[in-house]
């Protein structure tokens, strides 16, 4: 057996344990009875400890170090490079810390659910305080150059720094914010039809249709309902999505379904023969989010997408949509307005929601604010950035699940995803002959084929910045998102683009 084969076998075993943990997490958020929370935290913690032991095994480390000095093909070299980095980082943590973090995460998630139910941040505060302390400790253990937040962000967006994210959000403030202001000053579009009653089962059936339209393989996936929609995978042949249904808001389910569909299509498109290896794993959450935002926004909120889909939706809900024209429907689903909830925000103000979370969690990690200050800081920033008053914790700082998972450094990837998506969509639209005509006909396979060829099949063989450059010809450029925003919303709101 070659050293590389030995390495692959170990990686497969590590991935098997990791996916077993993922199954328990999926069940915890979809089917587990409330009484099972205590034991589930213990079970996950036990497996997390076993996983850490395998990740830090000395024999495995020796094989990685030996392979790092051998001449390997590009993909194999990249696999070893990523695995060695992960091994070196994992070696910095003892098993006790890993178990404590895993147990805290499970307990924190349960506390968040209860706090949201009671609309009381105080229920969550002591658990989140412990989580923040552990994440600060994690950053110190990992080490960093510019900011402790970078050490945490590296888990989700490798090779990106806190400073780079700050620069992107400065562009948002300097370019996107003035444009949003101009949109706000234009006559508002009518979306009154959205708040009517829409049958739960019909919405569920519509969601399944959307998944099928876009190419999601239900033979290797399934959809369920959860409090916070998410996608999880146990390998590219078992990729599951969840959604949520609001009977007084049809589009909430539609957007969450399209969003998670984009994530799931990426996972289903990863090469199964690379299972367990970095080359069979998504490269970053920014790129992952680009797939979900692309399907939700660039495709799903486009006029041409609904030329095919809208008649079907009208037939499903004729009492609510029968007298709504396609043009009016298109404008209403692209309404731009300040809002409280990130997941239901429009494409433009969405990035204000992300900035708020980025600024708060960065401050938490550097210690400039305490966990107890979160509600007041949150409410103040929502007033400053979006001019909205936050009426409760449940609709404010308790709305997202991420901090209960310990996912500090995750939120910036949402904005990165939108920026990547705009750039990818601009390129694929020029690469695919008659692309828009295919969309009008309801044929989204050319889109999926392009993403499979340019993004999905590479896994983590290339860094996110390299993958973007290979696919589009240049590194991430905020200009593409601004061009997309101005062209689209200039049309929706009938703005004089010369002034924009």
For residue 227, the domain's CATH number is: 1.10.1370.30
pLDDT > 90: percent of the chain? 89
Averaged pLDDT, 54-69 = 95
483 and 425 Cβ atoms separated by less than 8 Å:
no
The rounded mean pLDDT for the chain is 95
Q: Residue 499 pLDDT > 70, yes or no?
A: no
Render pLDDT for 332-383 as a digit per residue (tens, 0 to 9): 999 999 999 998 899 999 999 999 999 999 999 999 999 999 999 999 999 9
Nearest alpha-carbon partner for 220 in 235, 205, 204, 242: 235
Task: Looking at the structure, tell me whether residues 114 and 210 fall in a common domain.
Answer: no
**What's the whole-number mean pLDDT along residues 389-418?**
96
User: Which pLDDT belongs to residue 497?
Assistant: 58
Distance CA 277, CA 271 (A): 10
Res. 34 pLDDT band, cuts 50 70 90: confident
Residue 453 lies in a domain: yes
pLDDT tens per residue, range 317-326: 999 999 999 9
* Among 115, 143, 171, residue at a domain's last position: 143
For residue 99, the model assigns a pLDDT of 87
Q: Are residues 45 and 124 in the same domain?
A: yes
- At residue 195, φ and ψ (nearest 5 deg) are -85, 10
Residue 480 within a domain: yes
- Which among 107, 260, 267, 289 is annotated as catalytic? 260
With respect to residue 118, please indicate whether it lies within any of the assigned structural domains. yes
CA atoms of 456 and 450, how far apart (whole Å): 9
Q: For residue 499, is it within any domain?
A: no
- Residue recorded with tokens 């923040």: 132
Once rounded to an integer, what is the mean pLDDT over residues 128-151? 96
Same domain, 79 and 217: no
Q: Are residues 95 and 167 in the same domain?
A: no
- pLDDT over 70 for what percent of the chain? 99
Which 8-state DSSP code applies to residue 187?
P
**Same structural domain, 370 and 485:** yes
Decide if 267 is catalytic: no
Examine the domain organization and report whether 90 and 175 are in the same domain: no
Structure-block tokens of residue 143: 């080490």
Give the total number of structural domains in the chain.
Answer: 2
Note the pLDDT of residue 426.
97
- Record the tokens describing residue 150, joined without a space: 């970078």
Q: Do 7 and 117 belong to one domain?
A: yes
Residue 218 lies in a domain: yes
176 and 29 both lie in a single domain: no
Helix, strand, coil shares of the chain, percent, nearest 5, are 70, 5, 30
How far apart CA 316 and CA 371 sit, in angstroms, is 46
* pLDDT tens-digit series, residues 381-392: 999 999 999 999
Strand order in the sheet with 239-243: 221-225, 239-243, 231-233
pLDDT, position 90: 87
Query: Are residue 45 and residue 130 in the same domain, yes or no?
Result: yes
pLDDT of residue 38: 80
Please compute the mean of the pLDDT values over residues 385-402 and round it to a whole number: 95
What is the CB neighbour count within 10 angstroms for residue 383? Answer: 12
Whether the pLDDT of residue 432 is over 90: the answer is yes
pLDDT value at 463 more than 50:
yes
- pLDDT value for 45: 85
pLDDT tens digit string along 275-313? 999 999 999 999 999 999 999 999 999 999 999 999 999
How many Å apart are CA 286 and CA 416, to the nearest integer? 5
What's residue 498's pLDDT? 43
Residue (of 254, 246, 264) closest to 310 by Cα position: 254
What does residue 421 show for φ and ψ, rounded to 5 degrees? -60, -45
- CA dist., res. 149 & res. 408, Å (int): 8
139 and 169 part of one domain = no
| Section 146-170 average pLDDT | 95
In a domain, 49, yes or no: yes
Residues listed for the chain? 500
- Domain of residue 316: give its range: 162-492
d(CA 138, CA 152): 8
Same domain (yes/no): 111, 235? no
Looking at the structure, tell me whether residues 70 and 18 fall in a common domain: yes
The answer to the question of residue 155 being in a domain is no
Least confident of 34-38, 176-180, 199-203, 455-459: 34-38
pLDDT at residue 217, rounded to an integer: 97
Average pLDDT over residues 18-39: 89
What pLDDT, on the 0 to 100 scale, is given for residue 170? 94
Measured between alpha carbons, how far is 254 from 267 in angstroms, rounded to an integer? 20
pTM (two decimals): 0.89
Q: Give residue 216's region: left, alpha or beta (phi > 0; psi -120 to 50).
A: beta
Pick the more confident residue, 307 or 229. Answer: 307
Tell me if 311 is assigned to some domain. Answer: yes
Residue where a domain terminates, one of 143, 172, 191: 143
């Amino acid at each position: 057996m070659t050293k590389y084969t030995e390495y692959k076998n170990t990686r497969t075993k590590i991935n098997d344990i990791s996916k077993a943990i993922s199954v328990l997490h999926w069940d915890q958020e979809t089917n587990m009875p409330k009484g099972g929370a205590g034991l589930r935290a213990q079970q996950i913690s036990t497996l997390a400890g076993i996983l850490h032991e395998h990740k830090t095994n000395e024999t495995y480390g020796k094989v990685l170090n030996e392979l790092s000095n051998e001449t390997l093909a590009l993909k194999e070299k990249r696999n070893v490079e990523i695995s060695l980095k992960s091994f070196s980082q994992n070696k910095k943590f003892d098993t006790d810390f890993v178990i404590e973090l895993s147990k805290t995460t499970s307990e924190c998630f349960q506390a968040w659910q209860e706090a949201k139910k009671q609309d009381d941040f105080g229920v969550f505060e002591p658990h989140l305080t412990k989580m923040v302390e552990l994440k600060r400790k994690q950053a110190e253990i990992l080490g960093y150059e510019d900011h402790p937040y970078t050490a945490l962000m590296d888990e989700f967006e490798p090779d990106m720094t806190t400073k780079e994210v700050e620069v992107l959000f400065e562009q948002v403030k300097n370019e996107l914010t003035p444009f949003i202001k101009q949109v706000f000053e234009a006559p508002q579009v009518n979306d009154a039809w959205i708040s009517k009653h829409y049958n739960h089962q019909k919405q569920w059936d519509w969601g399944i249709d959307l998944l099928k339209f876009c190419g999601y393989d239900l033979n290797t996936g399934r959809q369920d309902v959860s409090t916070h929609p998410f996608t999880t995978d146990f390998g590219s042949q078992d990729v599951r999505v969840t959604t949520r249904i609001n009977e007084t808001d049809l589009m909430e389910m539609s957007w969450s379904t399209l969003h998670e569909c984009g994530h799931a299509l990426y996972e289903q498109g990863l090469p199964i023969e690379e299972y367990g290896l970095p080359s069979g794993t998504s490269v970053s959450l920014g790129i992952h989010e680009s797939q979900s935002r692309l399907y939700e926004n660039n495709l799903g909120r486009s006029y041409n997408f609904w030329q095919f889909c809208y008649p079907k939706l009208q037939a499903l809900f004729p009492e609510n949509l029968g007298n709504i024209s396609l043009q009016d429907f298109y404008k209403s689903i692209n309404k731009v307005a300040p809002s409280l909830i990130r997941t239901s925000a429009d494409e433009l103000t969405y990035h204000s929601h992300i900035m708020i979370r980025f600024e708060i969690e960065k401050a938490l990690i550097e210690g400039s604010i305490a966990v107890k200050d979160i509600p007041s800081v949150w409410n103040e920033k929502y007033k400053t950035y979006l001019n909205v008053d936050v009426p409760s914790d449940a609709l404010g700082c308790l709305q997202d699940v991420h901090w209960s998972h310990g996912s500090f450094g995750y939120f910036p990837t949402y904005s990165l995803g939108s920026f990547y998506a705009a750039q990818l969509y601009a390129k694929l639209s020029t690469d695919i002959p008659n692309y828009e005509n295919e969309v009008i006909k309801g044929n989204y396979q050319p889109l999926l084929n392009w993403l499979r060829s340019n993004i999905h099949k590479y896994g983590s063989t290339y860094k996110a910045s390299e993958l973007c450059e290979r696919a589009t010809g240049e590194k991430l450029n905020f200009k593409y998102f601004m061009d997309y925003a101005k062209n689209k919303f200039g049309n929706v709101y009938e703005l004089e683009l010369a002034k924009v």
